[in-house]
Copies of this chain bind each other. A is one copy, B any other.
Amino acid sequence: MNAAQLSALQQRLGHPFQDRDLLMRALTHRSWGSDHNERLEFLGDAVLNLAVSDLLFDQYGNSPEGDLTRVRAHLVRQDMLHRIALSLQLPAVLRLSEGEARGGGAQRPSILADAMEALIGAVYREAGFGAAEALVRRLFGPLVAETATQSWGKDAKTQLQEWLQGRRMNVPEYRIESTRGRAHDQTFVVVCSVPEYALEGRGEGRSRRAAEQEAAREVLDRLTALTE
């Protein structure tokens, strides 16, 4: 990389770094040396998560928490970070070992997504949450509307069934584990199980159907985490 590329990156980020070492660390893959970006990535991941949560809370403050969680998970996924990293032309400025670079490392989605999170973490370290949040809103704002229309709205039982059928697996089983309260004020606890994964989710609600939805949501979230 050269100075012009670095300066262009800072312009695209809208944040001129005071601490050049911090910027360089965010762009350094661990194959390069010991002063790499993994700890900044740890921090940036949490900054991104909060900034996106806040954005969704503002824009969709009346949506159920489960929908917010689902859309957030979709937005902070590796492929979204990868797209943004490409739009910032990160491949040109990454520092990788020769071997990693020759193997195409600068184009690998995971390396680019990690560097993207590390850059967000670096802005947070240098300029605080307000600056990092403004950056995330600039970068992710346009994706929110797009994502919302794709993943909003489908109920969890339907999604879980589609997920399993897409993998030629049996439909999940639902059973009522317990009920509490009097007839007009009952709470149901339902267990949803997917034997192929030795996986269970528990949900509770004021109706059996609401409890089933919540149990299905929990199983779906775990399956998604497992297979991401």
Residues of B within 8 A of A142 (CB): none
Cα A202 to Cα B97 with chains together (Å):
20
Return the contact of A102 from the options B50, B68, B181 (Cβ within 8 A).
B181
A100 adjacent to chain B (CB < 8 Å): yes
Query: Is A185 an interface residue when CB atoms closer than 8 A count as contact?
Result: yes
User: Which B residues are in CB contact (< 8 Å) with A100?
Assistant: 180-181, 187
A17 to B119, CA, bound (A): 34
Determine the chain B residues whose CB is within 8 A of the CB of A147 once the complex forms. none
Chain A: how many interface residues by the 8 Å CB criterion?
Answer: 42
Q: Is A65 an interface residue (CB 8 A)?
A: yes
Q: Does the CB pair A68–B42 fall under 8 Å? A: yes
Is A61 positioned at the interface, with any CB of B under 8 Å from its CB? Answer: yes
0/1 per residue, A97-122, Cβ < 8 Å to B?
Answer: 11110110000000000000000000
A225 is an interface residue with CB less than 8 A from chain B:
yes
In the bound complex, residues from chain B placing their C-beta under 8 Å from that of A129 are 50, 129-130
Q: Assembly of this chain: how many copies?
A: 2
Contact with B along A164-203 (1 / 0, CB 8 A): 0000000000000000111001110000000011110000
Q: How many angstroms between the C-alpha atoms of A50 and B206 in the bound complex?
A: 33
Which B residues are CB-close (under 8 A) to A197? 197-198
In the complex, whether A211 has a CB less than 8 A from a CB of chain B is no
A180 partner residues in chain B, CB cutoff 8 A? 99-100, 103
Residue of A65, A98, A225 with most chain B CB atoms under a 10 A cut-off: A65
**Interface positions of A (Cβ within 8 A of B):** 31, 38-39, 41-43, 45-47, 49-50, 53-54, 57, 61, 63-65, 68-69, 97-100, 102-103, 129-130, 180-182, 185-187, 196-199, 206, 222, 225-226
